[in-house]
Chains A and B, each alone.
Chain A
Amino acid sequence: MGLGFAGLFAASALVLFAVIYWQTIGYMDRQLRSVIDDNVESLMSAYQDGGMSGLRYAVERQLGRAGPQSGWYLAILSHGRSVVGNVSLSASFPGWKEIHVPAADPDDDDTRDDGDAVLGRGVQFGDGTFLFVGHDAHQVEELRELIVEGLTWCFGAALLLAALGGTAVGAGALRRVEVINEVAGRIVQGDLERRIPIRGTGDEFDTLADYLNHMLERIQVLMESMRQVTTDIAHDLRTPIGRMRQRLDSVRQHASTVPEYRAAVDYAIEETDRVIETFSALLRIAEIESGSRRARFAEVDLTSVMEALVEAYAPVANEMGHEWVARISPGVHVYGDRDLLLQALANLVENSIRHTPAGSVVQMCLSSTPRDAVAAVADNGPGIPAPLRAKVTQRFYRLESSRSTPGSGLGLGLVAAIAELHGTRLELSDNAPGLRASLKFSRT
């Protein structure tokens, strides 16, 4: 990892430096060449106008006027022999060439051992005349050396910094990952209380640690609720099975007639049915919580659902001595699962019927606004004390007062699960007196 990044960094630095090099040196070089080209042009026109003598005159004039400090190096050769010039050439060579001339000033520090660099261009004319126009290139050379030296230093320093910084950052990141690893290891070993320390710098590692801690909290809550549910299931099922066993045991010891055995068998079937009912309810809740039924969601006529419930339960409530009131708005539709909504609302109605004394009033209301629809079941019975309202939707939770009524303790848990599937919540509130249970469906 670290080496890879260092390599990448070095490569990008090299590219950057290459660009700088070509931009500066290349520019100087082009400038110099264009100056030389201009001079060649003017001397060539002198040759065309005045032939060899015209050219010679122009070169001599330039050399005489400009002097040795001008930086110009000119020469004319005729058939390989020098005619005039301030630079001696051994041969003619058409085109661009860099040559070295003896140093103008040998004490100068800039002077190299092989003399000064001169960039020049040779032109061969048809009559054997050869013209060389060159210009001192030592400034370009100097700049080149300066830039190469500077860039080399820069590159070295950058590489060093990259290596040091990378190591430092890497080591810091590594340390923090190690901390996370260590905590994760502890958690795997069962220490669910552990959390990843947050440094408070607000960097990505803190964000990661924060997310992981939230995840751990959720896992812990889930583990605890799973433990709770498992324990509750075991308790809840052990009781009827234990009772059944006692009964069968005693029948085996004492019963002697067929009716006695039959009664024992009937009892056993009844108790088994209750155990099966509990399992079915658990499976149903699990199925609902899995969310797979959302795929079957469709437009549901909530008015007709409520009316069907009134039709089914009003006679039951009356039979049990309850008064029944229904106020149902027409034409209310929601998006959901009809069977499940029917079951959820039926559970609420049945709770009101079963857990209130004779003479109580059971109320079913469906109201709607442009924003939402509220289906509610209310009664004026004993209600649920405020601190316990959150608990009654937990699986197997049963109020002291209702323990004598048969039931699995899963009814409201199922309603809560159905509500959640529909993106809403089971709201339990004080009906003063009594309980009001409602489901509010958003229409957006």
Chain B
Amino acid sequence: MRVLAIEDDSETAAFIANGLQRLGHAVEIANNGHDGLRQASGRSHDLLIVDRMLPGMSGIALVQRLRDDGILTPVLFLTALGGVDDRVEGLDSGGDDYMAKPFAMAELAARANALDRRVSRRDEATRLRVANLELDVVERTVRRGGHPLALQPREFRLLEYLMRHAGETVTRTMLLENVWQFRFDPRTSVVETHVSRLRMKIDRDFKPELIHTVRGAGYCLRAPE
């Protein structure tokens, strides 16, 4: 995907660019708010990564301008302002996700993938299918190879989230925020425990294995190629 990173700190910008290019994305950099606005107005990007404190124009003002102009490119705020109020302000201004610095590359890459506008229409599907695993959001049913599986409500939401992001890495934090609504980092293995229980139900008695652990990043649900 084509990413525009609007970030004035050259070291952070280089870190973002290198990390995303390594994953096969094309990255442009703008080091101030005005250039960022001009470049983003071209509408040729799939994702904008925006710092909040920028020379020339704040990230918030920039995103508001874009939204006012009808440009709906997904925006990921990446900023040192990590308080709850800051977060709410960022999302209110038109941002789609909000990450506080310091950050891990794996987290940024996973969230960037989740926001990619080329795939963001998938949230509307109500019947999800990966290999021989099927999930019906409306009927609340899960089948693997035609066999119905009994899942707890939270396991169902966990599986739904993984399936909506099939083929992508989702991080612990993304799961905590979206499945449990936890905005803090638990000190016990909440995610690990629940994923392992889900695995027991989904993967133990069936082939192929679908839930994979991505070391140092998170999990990925995908069909073998």
Task: Contacts A276-B102, A315-B193 given; indicate if A350 touches B187 (C-beta within 8 A).
Answer: yes
Give residues of chain A (275-315) contacting chain B, Cβ–Cβ below 8 Å: 276-277, 280, 283-284, 287, 292-293, 296, 308, 311-313, 315
Query: Interface with B: A69-77, A96-104, A339-347, A367-375, which one?
Result: A339-347
Residues of chain B within 8 A of A26, CB atoms compared:
none
Determine which of B85, B88, B182, B185 lies in contact with A277 in the assembled complex, contact meaning CB atoms within 8 Å: B185
**In the complex, residue of chain A having the shortest beta-carbon distance to the beta carbon of B103:** A276
Q: Is the CB of A312 within 8 A of B84?
A: no
Determine which of A293, A296, A313, A411 lies in contact with B190 in the assembled complex, contact meaning CB atoms within 8 Å: A313
Query: How far in angstroms is the closest Cβ of chain A from B93?
Result: 17
Q: Is the CB of A312 within 8 A of B82?
A: no
Query: How far in angstroms is the closest Cβ of chain A from B183?
Result: 5
Task: Contacts A277-B185, A292-B85, A343-B183 given; indicate if A316 touches B193 (C-beta within 8 A).
Answer: yes
A277–B181 Cα gap in the complex (Å)?
19
**B contact residues, range:** 20 to 34
Give residues of chain A (126-164) contacting chain B, Cβ–Cβ below 8 Å: none
Binary per-residue interface labels of chain B (179-191) against chain A in the complex, 1 for a CB within 8 Å, 0 otherwise: 0111111111110
A189–B82 Cα gap in the complex (Å)?
37
A184–B203 Cα gap in the complex (Å)?
73
Q: Is the CB of B84 within 8 A of A339?
A: yes
Q: Is the CB of A315 within 8 A of B188?
A: no
**In the complex, residue of chain B having the shortest beta-carbon distance to the beta carbon of A276:** B102
Is B25 on the interface with A (CB-CB < 8 A)? no
Is A81 on the interface with B (CB-CB < 8 A)? no
Residues of chain B within 8 A of A308, CB atoms compared:
180-181
Q: Is the CB of A346 within 8 A of B154?
A: no
Q: Is the CB of A296 within 8 A of B184?
A: no
Is A186 on the interface with B (CB-CB < 8 A)? no
Q: Is the CB of B183 within 8 A of A287?
A: no
A248–B14 Cα gap in the complex (Å)?
24
**In the complex, residue of chain B having the shortest beta-carbon distance to the beta carbon of A275:** B102
Residues of chain A within 8 A of B183, CB atoms compared:
339, 343
Is B83 on the interface with A (CB-CB < 8 A)? yes
Query: How far in angstroms is the closest Cβ of chain B from A358?
Result: 14
Query: How far in angstroms is the closest Cβ of chain B from A232?
Result: 19
Is A407 on the interface with B (CB-CB < 8 A)? yes
Is A435 on the interface with B (CB-CB < 8 A)? no
Residues of chain B within 8 A of A350, CB atoms compared:
186-188
Is A354 on the interface with B (CB-CB < 8 A)? yes
Q: Is the CB of B188 within 8 A of A280?
A: no
User: How many chain A residues touch the partner (CB < 8 A)?
Assistant: 27
Residues of chain A within 8 A of B180, CB atoms compared:
308, 312
Q: Is the CB of B154 within 8 A of A311?
A: yes
Query: How far in angstroms is the closest Cβ of chain A from B114?
Result: 21
Residues of chain B within 8 A of A108, CB atoms compared:
none
**In the complex, residue of chain A having the shortest beta-carbon distance to the beta carbon of B153:** A311
A305–B91 Cα gap in the complex (Å)?
24
Q: Is the CB of B187 within 8 A of A293?
A: no
A37–B8 Cα gap in the complex (Å)?
102
Give residues of chain B (87-111) contacting chain A, Cβ–Cβ below 8 Å: 88, 100, 102
Residues of chain A within 8 A of B82, CB atoms compared:
280, 283
Binary per-residue interface labels of chain A (324-347) against chain B in the complex, 1 for a CB within 8 Å, 0 otherwise: 000000000000000100110010
A316–B182 Cα gap in the complex (Å)?
15
Query: How far in angstroms is the closest Cβ of chain A from B112?
Result: 20
Give residues of chain B (187-217) contacting chain A, Cβ–Cβ below 8 Å: 187-190, 193-194, 197
A346–B153 Cα gap in the complex (Å)?
19
Query: How far in angstroms is the closest Cβ of chain B from A376?
Result: 19
Is A319 on the interface with B (CB-CB < 8 A)? yes
Binary per-residue interface labels of chain B (41-69) against chain A in the complex, 1 for a CB within 8 Å, 0 otherwise: 00000000000000000000000000000
Is A353 on the interface with B (CB-CB < 8 A)? yes
A308–B152 Cα gap in the complex (Å)?
12
Residues of chain A within 8 A of B83, CB atoms compared:
283, 287, 292
Q: Is the CB of B154 within 8 A of A316?
A: no
Q: Is the CB of B85 within 8 A of A346?
A: no
Query: How far in angstroms is the closest Cβ of chain B from A405?
Result: 9
Query: Which residue of B82, B153, B181, B186 has the most chain A CB atoms within 10 A of its CB atom?
Result: B186
Residues of chain B within 8 A of A287, CB atoms compared:
83-85
Q: Is the CB of A346 within 8 A of B194?
A: no
Query: How far in angstroms is the closest Cβ of chain B from A397?
Result: 16
Residues of chain A within 8 A of B188, CB atoms compared:
313, 316, 320, 350, 353-354
Q: Is the CB of A296 within 8 A of B84?
A: yes
Given contacts A283-B83, A284-B184, 18 further A-B contacts (CB under 8 A): A277-B185, A280-B82, A287-B83, A287-B85, A293-B85, A308-B181, A311-B152, A311-B153, A315-B193, A315-B197, A319-B189, A320-B188, A339-B181, A339-B183, A343-B183, A353-B188, A407-B187, A411-B187
6 contacts between A and B (CB under 8 A): A277-B185, A311-B153, A315-B194, A316-B188, A319-B193, A342-B181
Sort A-B residue pairs by CB-CB distance and give the 5 closest, nearest first.
A343-B184, A316-B193, A287-B83, A315-B193, A339-B183
